[in-house]
Amino acid sequence: MTEALLELKGLSKAFGALKASDAVDLTLMPGEIHALIGPNGAGKSTLIAQVAGWLHSDAGEVHLLGRNVSHWSVAARAGLGLGRSFQVSSLASEFSALGNVLLALQAREGGAFRFWSPLRGNARLRDEAMAVLARVGLEDRAELPVASLSHGERRLLEVALALAIQPKLLLLDEPMAGLGPEGTRNLTAFLRGLKEEAAILLVEHDMDAVFALADRISVLVYGRVIASGPPEEIRQSAAVREAYLGDSLC
């Protein structure tokens, strides 16, 4: 049987009396895009933070590539192959697009970086950074400061930074936010091509993008998974329609 890349078992987190995530079970298989949807405040970002390791869970377990990483740091989880989309605010806006990817690559190399001759190391890393930018179609924008990139180009750069660690799976929290129709189309096509290389746990409000991309959808309401299945099953689910008051799934 194929092993899950990510398995959440009974994951819970409360803020005071509020159960932001409540005994969540979820599985991400290789080659899969698993979308996590739900109304505002349902607990999607909380769950992503628990998976990434930013937020300590009250109960439950996170298994990554068959290992229980529930008590591992963010960096250790990333080291095992867990990538995540960067928020715009984490881009270094005074640096170029290329500079940002180089920073991410150097962070990946960690301590080993200092053992190389700087010139050889830089040339190798520069080539790799350019290849990463080319994958998201930003090679022509490499030398531009982040501040002069469009919103859509910055979102693509965030995905490029996530790819720099060669992740086996990616957490993407609302990657389409603020993109126009063309940007959404471009990113949707890119993510569809990416999933064989890195499976994706996707939080996204754009239902067209979700239904175009997802192999499986889990619906979170008040921290609980109320439905999980293939897109068509979710579209037909009465419980899901009720949770969304029938608005965005029609």
Contacts of 224 (CB under 8 A, 6+ apart): 22, 23, 24
Closer residue to ligand ATP, CB minimum distance, 183 or 223: 223
Least Å distance, CB 11 to ligand ATP, is 12
Q: How far is the CB of 71 from ligand ATP (least distance, A)?
A: 20
Q: Which is nearer to ligand ATP, 146 or 219 (CB)?
A: 219
Cβ nearer to ligand ATP, comparing 44 with 216: 44
CB of 51 to ligand ATP, least distance (A): 12
Phi-psi region of 9 (alpha: psi -120 to 50; beta: other; left: phi over 0): beta
- Partnered with residue 217 across adjacent β-strands are 35, 229
- By beta-carbon proximity to ligand ATP, the closer residue of 41 and 79 is 41
Q: Which residues here bind ligand ATP, judged by CB under 6 A?
A: 15, 18, 20, 38, 40-46
With contact defined as beta carbons under 8 Å apart, do 243 and 217 qualify?
no
Gap between the Cα atoms of 54 and 51, Å rounded:
8
For ligand ATP, the closer of residues 15 and 115 by Cβ is 15
Closest among 93, 66, 86, 78 to 172, alpha carbons compared = 86
